[in-house]
Structure 1
Amino acid sequence: MNRTALTFITLLLPLFGICQKIERDSIRVFYLGGQSNMSGFGKNSELPDSITSNFNNVWIFQGNPAPDENESGGLGIWTEITPGHGWKFTSNGKENNLSEYFGVELSFAKKIREYYPNEKIAIIKYCRGGISIDSLAAGKWGSLEPDYRGTNGINQYDHFLRTVRLAFDDRDIDNDGIEDYLIPSGIIWMQGESDAGFTEEIANRYYENLIRLMNLVRAAFHQDDLPIVIGKISDSGNNKEGKVWKHGEIVQYAQEKYVRTDQNAVIVRSTEGYNYHDAYHYNSAGYIDLGEKFAEAIYLLNKK
């Protein structure tokens, strides 16, 4: 049979219901977002062996945490999860520069694998220390307010969108030759300290700002009821004036109000009992516990 005839028959096969089955892997994907307590100041050197090994079938795509005006924001690659995705992590989109720190991603991955032992797990992470929701609290770190444009029109929300887009553009995240189908399964959000550290007016806007942003994050994953777990901000009290976050109680109230008014959101409150690495960030044990609490909460929401 000549090549022309073979091509013609191949084109006709779908018309007669004779189609080649396309093999795909379904992978649950969770988004981790926020500011520095999502980035993580846990020390890799303090990780127990139970957290650093046996991460079978868990991958992570972390977007480069760049300033608002930096065009490298959101660049990343899919890799097997490993320590080093905390503070000072960077990526140029071709290789990752792992740091000496970790965040909640390790214990989260470990715990979520216990809940879904027969499934592949993927984590998308974009966060940057100090970023706010309200543009008036952007400071030098940046803002997630979509309409905040800074000097050249690129902000933290743009970096988030780029992270998600690049993560989903890769059709084979584990490089096994089989197309991957990512199933959005939850948003984990740890942020609010910056919005609590400026003025009372900014803190009072946090509830409405959080509603808007979470709706937009859900929309980025094309699921308007995607489960959300909020990490409640806390205060070390390690400041000359006592409190670190001047209006922390207002933001905490807004977070509690949000989960009361959104039927597919819950809050993790264990943060109030953690010890600190410094005045602003939890210690290693805190991040390990927080990751586990996040995994349990998002699993129960999905189960519901």
Structure 2
Amino acid sequence: MRLKKLLFFVLIILPAMVLSQQKEVNTIRLFYLGGQSNMDGFGYNTDLPESLNKTFDDVLIFHGNPVGDDQENGGLGKWDVLKPGHGTGFSSNGNNNNLSNRFGIELSFVKRLQELYPNEKIALIKYSRGGTSIDSLAAGKFGSWEPDYQGTTRINQYDHFLTTIRKALSVEDIDNDGTKDNLVPSGILWMQGESDGAHTEEIALRYYSNLKRLMDLIRAAFHVDDLPVVLGKISDSWNDKDGKVWNYGELVQYAQEKFARTDGHATIVRNTRYYKYSDPWHYDSKGYIDLGKRFADAVYKLSSDKK
């Protein structure tokens, strides 16, 4: 009789318990947003339509504190529900997120993703910093994404990115609902390159190799070798005192196109050439709203498991 009870437990009860435990995990699509100021976002919250000027209760974001090279507290942040204010001027000390009056691509990106992936949970990790270049010779006071660049304290933008990723992924329950979350890396969104096209021809000519290496390393940080990459093609407002803002921008554009065509798991958003500007360097609010939608459509097309 005891043997029968034991067999019943092993064959019926135990599998049910295991299945129940397996269900106690939320699967969430995770996307990384990185780059420089046009990824930061210079759109004004007051320009948002009602459909975006709200709290996205079912979407979480970890926004790493953006600081310069050699500075402390880079990448600090905390998971929070997505709402306007994750544009330029955002900061975090790891305990509190300080929202700004600006937004980037994240709002319209998520809204469009919810249409493409209905009933699925979405999470964002964002670390970007205005003015940053990949090449250290173009970094100036803003910072460099070049992984080997050591500066004074050996802390650069790539290090701040790694801090952001490490802290974000160390949290098992990002929405505090009592259930463990399984974050599935689903794409890299990269809007950057303007600073690398602003200085010398030599720096701009290195952009392809610098970009390729950085994207490979960011993929490695998420442990997905073929993680989709969507680039936002840089554009020029032609609103500088001598016309062009990015003197060697065409070389960076060529490098971006080359990466998108040769990588195998990458694409590029080109609609930036049609956007209007709020200043010589940054798109207007309508531009960021459109760019978010374009990024969503592009990363969805690259996805291997789109529904």
Alpha-carbon distance in 2 for matches of 1:290, 1:175: 31
The C-alpha deviation readout for 1:170-224, integer Å capped at 9, x for no partner, is 1011110000000000000000000000110000000000000000000000000
- Show structure 1 runs of 5+ residues with no match: 1-12
Alpha-carbon distance in 1 for matches of 2:103, 2:67: 18
Is 1:241 the counterpart of 2:224? The answer is no
Alpha-carbon distance in 2 for matches of 1:284, 1:132: 23
SS of residue matched to 2:56: coil
Letter in 2 for 1:60: I
Is 1:55 the counterpart of 2:43? The answer is no
Report the Cα offset of residue 54 of structure 1: 6.2
CA contact (8 A) 2:55 2:81 kept: no
Q: How does 1:19-34 map to 2 (within 5 A)?
A: 20=18, 21-22=21-22, 23-34=24-35
Letter in 1 for 2:60: W
User: In the alignment, which residue of structure 2 is the partner of 1:273?
Assistant: 274
The C-alpha deviation readout for 1:61-112, integer Å capped at 9, x for no partner, is 0000011111200000000000000001000000101000000000001111
Letter in 2 for 1:152: T
Aligned-pair identity in percent equals 63
SS of residue matched to 2:297: helix
Report the Cα offset of residue 57 of structure 1: 1.5
Alpha-carbon distance in 1 for matches of 2:251, 2:156: 25
Aligned-CA RMSD value: 1.4
Alpha-carbon distance in 1 for matches of 2:56, 2:114: 9
List, as ranges, runs of 4+ consecutive aligned residues in structure 1 with deviation greater than 3 Å.
Answer: 16-20
Is 1:174 the counterpart of 2:144? The answer is no
Report the Cα offset of residue 56 of structure 1: 4.0
SS of residue matched to 2:60: strand
Alpha-carbon distance in 1 for matches of 2:211, 2:192: 10
Alpha-carbon distance in 2 for matches of 1:56, 1:95: 18
Alpha-carbon distance in 2 for matches of 1:79, 1:54: 10
Alpha-carbon distance in 2 for matches of 1:56, 1:176: 12
Alpha-carbon distance in 1 for matches of 2:251, 2:209: 12
Is 1:194 the counterpart of 2:195? The answer is yes
Letter in 2 for 1:108: F
Is 1:292 the counterpart of 2:293? The answer is yes
User: In the alignment, which residue of structure 1 is the partner of 2:225?
Assistant: 224
Letter in 2 for 1:67: G
User: In the alignment, which residue of structure 1 is the partner of 2:70?
Assistant: 69
Alpha-carbon distance in 2 for matches of 1:303, 1:241: 45
- Show structure 2 runs of 5+ residues with no match: 1-9
User: In the alignment, which residue of structure 2 is the partner of 1:183?
Assistant: 184
User: In the alignment, which residue of structure 2 is the partner of 1:151?
Assistant: 152
Alpha-carbon distance in 2 for matches of 1:163, 1:113: 24
Alpha-carbon distance in 1 for matches of 2:56, 2:156: 33
SS of residue matched to 2:125: strand
Report the Cα offset of residue 17 of structure 1: 6.4
User: In the alignment, which residue of structure 2 is the partner of 1:213?
Assistant: 214
CA contact (8 A) 2:85 2:103 kept: yes
Structure 1 54/89 Cα, relative in aligned 2: closer, same or farther at 3 Å?
closer
Letter in 2 for 1:61: F
User: In the alignment, which residue of structure 2 is the partner of 1:118?
Assistant: 119
Normalising by structure 1, we get a TM-score of 0.93
User: In the alignment, which residue of structure 2 is the partner of 1:129?
Assistant: 130
Size of the aligned set, in residue pairs, is 290
SS of residue matched to 1:51: coil
SS of residue matched to 1:164: helix
Alpha-carbon distance in 1 for matches of 2:100, 2:54: 17
